[in-house]
A and B are shown apart, each in its own frame.
Chain A
Amino acid sequence: MIWLIYALFFVTLYFEVFMLLAFVTTKTDHDEPGGLENITFPRVTIIVPCFNEEATLSATMHSLLALNYPHEMLDIIIVNDGSKDGTLTVAKTFESDPRVRVFDKPNGGKHTAMNFALQHTNSEFIGCLDADSIVDPEALRAIIPVFADDRVAAVTPGILIKKPQTLIQHMQDAEYRLSVFNRFTLAALGSAFITPGPFSIYRTSIVRDMKGWRHGHSTEDLEMALCIQDAGYIIANAPTAVVYTGSPRTVHALFKQRVRWTYGFLRNSIDYHYMFGNKKYGNLSIIILPMALLSIFAAIIFFTRLIYLLIGQILHAFARWQIVGIQLHAPTFDLFYFNTSMLIVLVLIAIALVIGLIAVGTELVTGKRRVPFGTAFFVLLYSFIVPLWLATAVVRAAFKTGVRWR
C-alpha cells in the first residue's frame, strides 16, 4: 500500500511541477499586454440565466450595467427560466435600460436558457454571467482583445469568491485563487477543459457551429469546453478580467455543488473518452485529462489511507483507555519524536508548493502575492472534505444517478 501512496504522490507532484514549469515558460515567453488602442469594440451579448435569483439578480445587473464598454455594443439578456420567486419582477425593473432585454420561459435548465438567448442575438460574441456573480467594470475590456486571434473560441476570466464570510467560503477563496493559476496555465497549454459559468465569453458563430449548449450532465460549461477542444479551437484565459462569484456558505451546499461538478467531469469524460491519450489533442489528452481523472482517485486513496491510520490510532487509544483509564500527560515537545518520514517531508513540500501557487494565482488577478486568510484552513482542512464529494460523485457517476443543480 505504501508504495502505491508513493507512486501516486510522485505522479501528483510531477503534475504540480509540470504546471508550474508551464506557467513559468508562458510568463517568460509571452508576458506582453494585448493592446486596446486600435481595437474596435464588437457587439457582445451577456446572458443572465435565472432560476429563483431574486435576492442576487439586482447586484449582478448593476455590475453588468457598470461595465466600461460602449453602451451600443452591449446587449444583456435576462432569461427567467421558470422562477417561482420574484426574479421576473426584479428583472423587469432593468428593462428601462436600452441594453437590457428580459425573456420569460418555462423551466428547462441552464443550457436551455442559454440556447434561448442564443436564438435572440446576432452579436459577434456571447457570454454568460450567473445571477449570483458580479463583474469588475473592466472585465469585458480585458477579454475582448484576446479574440484578436481567430483561433480563439472562448476566453475565461479570473474568478474570485464574492465577499467570503463563512470559514467554508474563506477556504473556497484560497481554492479559487489556485484555480486562477490552473486556468491560466491550462489555457497556456491549450488544455482548458472548462469554460466557467461566470463570464466566460464565446465567439457566437462557433457556439452556433456546436449547436449551442447541451445539458452535459448538469455541467454545460465543461461539456462546451470539451466540444470546443474537440473541434480544434483555443480556449484562452484573461485573469485580469475579474469576476466575483457567489459561493456555497455551508459544507452541505458546497458538497452538493462539488458532487455535481465531479459527476459532470466523470460522465463527460466517458462521453469524450476518445480524447484521453489521443495525441491529436496534445497536452490535453497526454497529461491534463488523465491527471484530472487520476487526481480524483488519488485523493480518495490518500484519504482512505489517512482514515485507516486514524482509526488505528483511535482503536489503540480506546484499548489503552479500557486497560489503564484516562491518563493526562503534560504535552512534550521533544524534537526526537517529530515525524520526519519521507512521506511527511514530501507532504510539507507539496503544501509549500500549493501555497506558492495560491500566491501566484492571487498575483495574476490582484497584482499582489499576499495569500488570503482562508489559505491555512484550505491547506489543513479542505483535503479532509474533498475526498467525500469525490467518492460520492464516483459512485453516482458509476450508477448514472444524475445530479441536480439545487
Chain B
Amino acid sequence: MTSPITQTRTPKSRTYLYALLITLFIFATAFYVSTYFNSQRIQDIRSTQDNISTDILSLETQFDLLQQRSCDSVTENTILPSELISLGNQLSYMEAQNSSTNKDEIIRLKRLYSLLQIKDYLLMKQLALKCNLKPVFIQYFYTNIGNCIDCEKQGYVLTKLAQTYPQLRIYTYDYNLDVSALKTLISINDVDNKLPALVIDDKVYYGFQSEADLINEIPQLATLEKATSTAATSTKK
C-alpha cells in the first residue's frame, strides 16, 4: 500500500520550476525536430532541382549535338514532366505549411523552380521545331496574394488534366515572384495581372477555364496518350 498523505498542500517551488524547465525543453525539442524535418525536405527539393538542372543541361548538350545528327533519340518525354510536377507539389506543400522559419528558403526554391520550368519550356519548343514533335504546352499564372478562389479551382482542373494526359506539359508560375526571366516571359506573352491566366499557343485566357473549355481550346489533347492509371499529384494553385 502506498500512502501519499505525508505531502501537504504547501507548494514546493522546486517542482514548479523543474516542470517549467522540462516543458521548455520539450518545446525546444519539438521545435528542433520540426525544423530538422523541414530542412530535410528542403534538401529533397534541392536535390530534385539539381537533378532537373542536370537533365536540362544534358538535353541542351544533346540538342547541340543534334544540330549534326537526327532526332531519333528524342521524344516529348525527354524531360519527364512528372519530375517537374512532383517538384511543384513539394513546393506547394512546403508553402502550405506556412512555416515562418523556411519562408525565405521556399521563395528562393520557387524562383529556381520557375527558372527550370522556363528553361524546360524553351528547350522543348526548340526540340519540337527541330525534331517535328508536337508537345502541348499550358503556361499557368496564379497568385498567392489575396484570396484567388479561381486560382484554386484552376489548379484542380489542371491537376486533373496533368493526371489524364501525362505528356501534357503544364508550367505553373507565381505571377508575383521576383524573377527577371519570369517577368520577361510575362511581358512577352502580354499577361495582365488578371489571374488566373493561361497561355496556350501564344494566346492568353483570363479567369477560370473549366476542363471542357480547355479540351475545346486544345484540340491537340486528343492526340496525347491518356494515363492508364492515375498517380496522386496535384498542381499548385
Residues of A within 8 A of B (CB): 10, 13-14, 17-18, 21-22, 25-27, 29-34, 142, 145-146, 149, 151-152, 184-185, 187-191, 229, 234, 236-240, 281-284, 286-287, 316, 319-320, 323-324, 327-332, 336-338, 340-342, 344-346, 349, 364
Are A345 and B30 interface neighbours, CB within 8 A? yes
How many angstroms from the CA of A300 to the CA of B36 in the assembled complex? 31
When distances are taken between beta carbons in the complex, the residues of chain A under 8 Å from B157 are 323-324
Are A190 and B1 interface neighbours, CB within 8 A? no
When distances are taken between beta carbons in the complex, the residues of chain B under 8 Å from A346 are 26-27, 30
Are B19 and A14 interface neighbours, CB within 8 A? yes
Decide: A284 near B93, CB < 8 A? Known: A14-B19, A14-B20, A33-B2.
no
Chain B contributes a number of interface residues (CB within 8 A of A) equal to 47
Contact of A323 among B8, B153, B232 (CB under 8 A): B153
Query: Which of A30, A238, A324 lies at the interface centre, i.e. has the most chain B CB atoms within 10 A of its CB?
Result: A324
When distances are taken between beta carbons in the complex, the residues of chain A under 8 Å from B93 are 336-337
How many angstroms from the CA of A319 to the CA of B11 in the assembled complex? 55
Query: Which of A284, A327, A342 lies at the interface centre, i.e. has the most chain B CB atoms within 10 A of its CB?
Result: A342
Interface 9-mer from B37-45, B109-117, B134-142, B182-190 = B37-45
Are B19 and A237 interface neighbours, CB within 8 A? no
Mark contacts of B44-78 with chain A using CB atoms, 8 A cut-off: 1 yes-contact digit, 0 otherwise.
Answer: 10000000000000000000000000000000000
Smallest Cβ-Cβ distance to A187: which chain B residue: B4
Q: Is the interface of B mostly helix, strand, loop or mixed?
A: helix
How many angstroms from the CA of A284 to the CA of B10 in the assembled complex? 9
Decide: A330 near B5, CB < 8 A? Known: A14-B20, A21-B18.
no
Q: Is the interface of A mostly helix, strand, loop or mixed?
A: helix
Are A14 and B23 interface neighbours, CB within 8 A? yes
Contact of A238 among B3, B26, B30 (CB under 8 A): B3
Min CB gap B157→A, angstroms: 6
When distances are taken between beta carbons in the complex, the residues of chain A under 8 Å from B29 are 345, 349
Smallest Cβ-Cβ distance to A320: which chain B residue: B156
Are A34 and B3 interface neighbours, CB within 8 A? yes
When distances are taken between beta carbons in the complex, the residues of chain B under 8 Å from A342 are 30-31, 34
Min CB gap B89→A, angstroms: 9
Are A18 and B15 interface neighbours, CB within 8 A? yes
When distances are taken between beta carbons in the complex, the residues of chain B under 8 Å from A30 are 2-4, 6-7
Are A340 and B15 interface neighbours, CB within 8 A? no
Contact of A331 among B15, B30, B232 (CB under 8 A): B232
When distances are taken between beta carbons in the complex, the residues of chain A under 8 Å from B153 are 319, 323
When distances are taken between beta carbons in the complex, the residues of chain B under 8 Å from A287 are 11, 16
- 9 A-B Cβ contacts within 8 A? A14-B20, A18-B15, A25-B7, A152-B5, A319-B156, A320-B156, A337-B93, A341-B97, A342-B31
Are B9 and A32 interface neighbours, CB within 8 A? no
Decide: A323 near B229, CB < 8 A? Known: A33-B1, A345-B33.
no
Q: Is B144 an interface residue (CB 8 A)?
A: no
Are B7 and A189 interface neighbours, CB within 8 A? yes
Contact of A329 among B34, B97, B231 (CB under 8 A): B231
With A187-B5, A283-B10 already in contact, 7 other A-B pairs whose C-beta atoms are closer than 8 Å: A21-B19, A146-B5, A283-B9, A323-B153, A324-B211, A341-B97, A341-B99
When distances are taken between beta carbons in the complex, the residues of chain A under 8 Å from B3 are 30, 32-34, 145-146, 236, 238
